[in-house]
Amino acid sequence: MADKKSMDSPNRLARMTGVLYLLVVLCGIISEILVKNVVFVPGDMAATVSQITIYGFIFRLGFVVMLARLVFLTLLVLALYKLFGQVNRDVAAAMVAFGLVSVAVSMVALVFEFGAPLLLTSSDYSTLFTTDQWQAQVQFFINMQVHADKAAQIFSLWVILLGFLMFKSGYLPKLLGILMMVAGVGYMADFLVFLLPQLDVQIAGFAFLAEVTFPFWLLIKGVDVEAWKSRALDEA
pLDDT digits (tens, 9 = 90+) for 106-150: 888 888 777 766 666 666 665 666 667 777 777 777 777 777 777
The answer to the question of residue 1 being in a domain is no
Please state the domain count of the chain.
Answer: 1
**55 pLDDT tier (thresholds 50, 70, 90):** confident
Who wins on pLDDT, 162 or 29? 162
Does position 83 have pLDDT exceeding 90, yes or no?
yes
Residue ranges making up the domain that contains 13: 8-231
**17 pLDDT tier (thresholds 50, 70, 90):** very high
The answer to the question of residue 64 being in a domain is yes
- Tens-place pLDDT, residues 212-225: 899 999 999 999 88
The answer to the question of residue 91 being in a domain is yes
How high is the pLDDT of residue 6?
A: 41
How high is the pLDDT of residue 124?
A: 63
The answer to the question of residue 99 being in a domain is yes
Contact 120, 52 (CB under 8 A): yes
How high is the pLDDT of residue 234?
A: 66
221 phi, psi to nearest 5 deg: -100, -30
Mean pLDDT value across residues 48-66: 80
The answer to the question of residue 23 being in a domain is yes
- Tens-place pLDDT, residues 153-205: 888 899 999 999 999 999 999 999 999 998 888 888 777 766 666 655 555 56
- To the nearest 10°, report the CA torsion of 59, 60, 63, 67: -160
Instruction: Give one DSSP letter per residue of 77-91, joined into a string.
Output: HHHHHHHHTTT-HHH
How high is the pLDDT of residue 190?
A: 73
Quick one: which of 63, 52, 49 has its CA closest to 129?
49
How high is the pLDDT of residue 144?
A: 79
Does position 7 have pLDDT exceeding 60, yes or no?
no
Instruction: Give one DSSP letter per residue of 32-67, joined into a string.
Output: IIIIIITT--TT-HHHHHHHHHHTHHHHHHHHHHHH
How high is the pLDDT of residue 204?
A: 58
Helical pair 2-31 and 207-220, crossing angle rounded to 10 deg:
150
How high is the pLDDT of residue 195?
A: 67
Does position 23 have pLDDT exceeding 90, yes or no?
yes
Does position 24 have pLDDT exceeding 90, yes or no?
yes
d(CA 201, CA 181): 19
The answer to the question of residue 2 being in a domain is no
The answer to the question of residue 3 being in a domain is no
**pTM (two decimals):** 0.83
The answer to the question of residue 114 being in a domain is yes
**29 pLDDT tier (thresholds 50, 70, 90):** confident
